């Protein structure tokens, strides 16, 4: 059993060196909680929200992947979304750190359907520190000494079409510029293409259903599919399942409290041969909305309607009709004539 775990740890290390980006996997598992981590065009749809997330994959294996992130989402200039985040990834002897800033511009396609376009800059660096780690092949040049990675500046781009409270269809590409992470290793970080979909429908006044799908692929990453469905009660409690063919199956819980505090938990069980040594992965998220205004949208995936200009004096887009009160014409007071 220990030998199996040691092989897995070595493959993890080699995988990270070959640029199997851990943040892509993290976004897959926490897609409902942190969608802007996958598509920068979604920046601004969690307006004024601070998010903290942690994920531990393949619990029970020494050196298994762990990810921690802190993100903040904000809107400026009525229709420009900003999302900034800090990531920390660890797997075996490999550690990666990243800082990202995403900007998205939201505009109207129709009265209720919006289009958003986003760009994200990511500054990251990786480190290989063997320390007391035991490797299978001590003569492997990749694992013969500690390595400090090259600081990497890269960009992500994305598009999304969405109707608040109903659907979203998105496409994004991360790592737009192929480049090396280590000075003496020729393997490069390759672009990752991703497509996203989300749909919400109300069953009755108390029950609704949210479903999502995510597909990601790259030249050095096989196609990854992720599906999830969630029953939502009174727009405050969501319970559902997620499934990735030939990868994992799990359950998730999403809780809203007082329109400001959100709690997220996701349990996954491997559907691959790694099930022989570990049977669980966990992801947890906590978010808090600042400011006096409550969330405009009542769904979990989108919690803001997006800021879209309808005229020169527009504010937040809202699906509820607005009424105007006609102004009374000004009347002049007639003074009685003095005798």
Residue by residue, what is the 3-state secondary structure of 230-242? EEEECCCEEEEEE
Domain that includes residue 39, residue range:
2-289
Query: How far is the C-alpha of 290 from the C-alpha of 84, rounded, in Å?
Result: 15
Residue environment code for 238-253, b if the CB has 16+ CB neighbours within 10 A, otherwise e: bebebebeebbebebe
Assess if residue 310 is contained within a domain.
no
Q: What does the pLDDT read at residue 19?
A: 42
Q: Is residue 317 part of a domain?
A: no
Give a yes or no: residue 334 inside a domain.
no
Residue 191 neighbours by CB distance under 10 Å: 16
Q: What is the pLDDT of residue 295?
A: 62
Q: Give residue 142's pLDDT band: very low, low, confident or very high (50, 70, 90).
A: low
What is the spatial distance between Cα 339 and Cα 334, in angstroms, rounded to a whole number? 15
Render pLDDT for 227-242 as a digit per residue (tens, 0 to 9). Answer: 999 999 998 999 999 9
Q: d(Cα 19, Cα 12) in Å, to the nearest integer?
A: 11
Query: Does residue 136 sit within a domain?
Result: yes
Per the domain annotation, does 208 fall within a domain? yes
CA 7 vs CA 14, 23, 253, 289: distances in Å: 11, 23, 33, 43
- HSE-up of residue 262 (Cα within 13 Å, Cβ side): 28
pLDDT value at 123 more than 50:
yes
Cα–Cα distance measured from residue 245 to residue 95, given in angstroms and rounded to the nearest whole number: 28
Q: How confident is the model at residue 256 (pLDDT cuts 50, 70, 90)?
A: confident
197 against 301, higher pLDDT: 197
pLDDT at 314 over 50: no
Does the structure show a pLDDT above 90 at 40? yes
pLDDT band at residue 115, thresholds of 50, 70 and 90?
Answer: very high
252 pairs with which residues across the strands?
A: 240, 266
Q: Residue 221 to residues 29, 189, 281: CA-CA distances in angstroms?
A: 16, 11, 20
| Lowest mean per-residue pLDDT among 24-28, 44-48, 95-99, 110-114 | 24-28
Percentage with pLDDT > 70 across the chain: 75
Contact criterion met (CB below 8 Å) for 143 and 161 = no
**For residue 46, what are its two tokens?**
């969690």
pLDDT tens, residue by residue, 170-226: 999 999 999 888 877 777 888 999 999 999 999 999 999 999 999 999 987 788 899
- Residue 184: the pLDDT is 74
235 located within any domain: yes
pLDDT at 329: 46
| Secondary structure (3-state) at 334 | coil
**Mean pLDDT, residues 110-138 taken together:** 82
Residue 333: pLDDT band (50, 70, 90) is very low
SS3 label, residue 224:
strand
Q: How far is CA 249 from CA 150, 156, 226, in A?
A: 36, 28, 9
| Segment 93-115 mean pLDDT | 93
Grade residue 316 by pLDDT with cuts at 50, 70 and 90.
very low
pLDDT for residue 61: 87
Question: For residue 194, what is the domain's CATH number?
Answer: 2.40.160.40
Q: Residue 9 belongs to what H/E stretch?
A: helix 2-17
In a domain, 260, yes or no: yes
pLDDT at residue 249 tops 90: yes
The Cα angle at residue 133 between residues 131 and 139, in degrees rounded to 5: 95
Q: What is the pLDDT of residues 61-88, one digit of tens each?
A: 888 899 999 999 998 877 899 999 999 9
**Three-class secondary structure of residue 299 per DSSP:** coil
What is the pLDDT, as a whole number, of residue 29? 56
Residue 328 predicted with pLDDT over 80: no
- What is the enclosing helix (H) or strand (E) of 132? none
Cβ atoms of residues 23 and 16 within 8 Å: no
What total of structural domains would you count in the chain?
1
Q: Is residue 302 part of a domain?
A: no
Chain-centroid distance, C-alpha 142: 32
């Amino acid at each position: 059993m220990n030998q199996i775990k040691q092989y897995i740890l070595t493959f993890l290390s080699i995988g990270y060196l070959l640029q199997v980006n851990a943040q892509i996997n993290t976004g897959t598992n926490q897609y409902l909680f942190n969608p802007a981590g996958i598509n920068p065009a979604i920046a601004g749809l969690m307006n004024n929200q601070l998010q903290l997330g942690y994920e531990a994959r393949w619990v029970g294996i020494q050196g298994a992947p762990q990810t921690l992130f802190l993100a903040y989402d904000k809107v400026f200039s009525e229709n420009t979304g900003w999302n900034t985040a800090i990531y920390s990834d660890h797997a075996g002897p490999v550690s990666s750190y990243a800082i990202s800033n995403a900007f998205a511009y939201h505009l109207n396609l129709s009265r209720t359907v919006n289009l958003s376009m986003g760009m994200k800059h990511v500054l990251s660096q990786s480190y290989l520190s063997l320390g007391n780690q035991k490797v299978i092949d001590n003569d492997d040049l990749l694992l013969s000494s500690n390595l400090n990675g090259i600081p990497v500046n890269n960009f992500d781009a994305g598009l999304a079409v969405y109707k608040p409270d109903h659907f979203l269809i998105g496409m994004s590409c991360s790592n737009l510029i192929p480049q090396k992470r280590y000075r003496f290793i020729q393997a490069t970080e390759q672009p990752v293409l991703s497509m996203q979909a989300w749909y919400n429908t109300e069953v009755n006044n108390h029950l609704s259903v949210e479903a999502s799908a995510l597909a990601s692929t790259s030249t050095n990453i096989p196609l990854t599919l992720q599906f999830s469905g969630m029953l939502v009660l009174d727009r405050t409690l969501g319970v559902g399942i997620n499934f990735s063919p030939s990868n994992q199956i799990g359950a998730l819980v999403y809780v809203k409290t007082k329109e400001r505090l959100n709690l997220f938990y996701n349990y996954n069980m491997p559907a691959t041969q790694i099930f022989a040594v570990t049977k669980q992965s966990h992801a947890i998220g906590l978010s808090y909305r600042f400011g006096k205004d409550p969330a405009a949208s009542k769904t979990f995936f989108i919690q803001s309607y997006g800021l879209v200009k309808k005229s020169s004096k527009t504010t937040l887009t809202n699906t509820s009709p607005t009424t105007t009160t006609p102004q009374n014409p000004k009347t002049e007071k007639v003074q009685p004539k003095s005798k």
